[in-house]
Amino acid sequence: MALEKKADYGKTQAKFTLATDIACNAPAFVVVSRAKGQGKYQPVYKSEAKGSMAGRITWNQILIDTDTLCDADNFCEIFFQVFQFNDNGSGNHKKLA
């Protein structure tokens, strides 16, 4: 994770590159969550669905304001989940990782 200053308002952003080698025959998306107590997580970011290239999916640049990501807690646990996108309208996406 890298930190960058935003051009507007001088806020700091966390910058991630995320790659996965999960076998996936459909587009996938990533959800980033922060810890909100013992065993509880609050989603703070959801990416666009992305197709896989020979089983490897890479999200090159995920930018999240640090206020949103960790709420001034520098030791906040961050949790990443990858889901296979299901476009049948059910909202039931398959958890891959």
Give the strand pairing for 78-84 and 94-95.
antiparallel
Rounded distance between C-alpha atoms, residue 35 and residue 55, angstroms? 29
Output DSSP code: residue 53.
Answer: B
Q: Residues 16-50: pLDDT tens digits?
A: 788 777 777 778 888 999 988 888 889 998 888 87
pTM: 0.74
The ranges assigned to domains in the chain are: 2-88
Rounded distance between C-alpha atoms, residue 80 and residue 41, angstroms? 10
User: How many other C-beta atoms are found inside a 10 Å radius of the C-beta of residue 14?
Assistant: 19
Q: Examine the pLDDT at 63 and tell me if it is beyond 80.
A: yes
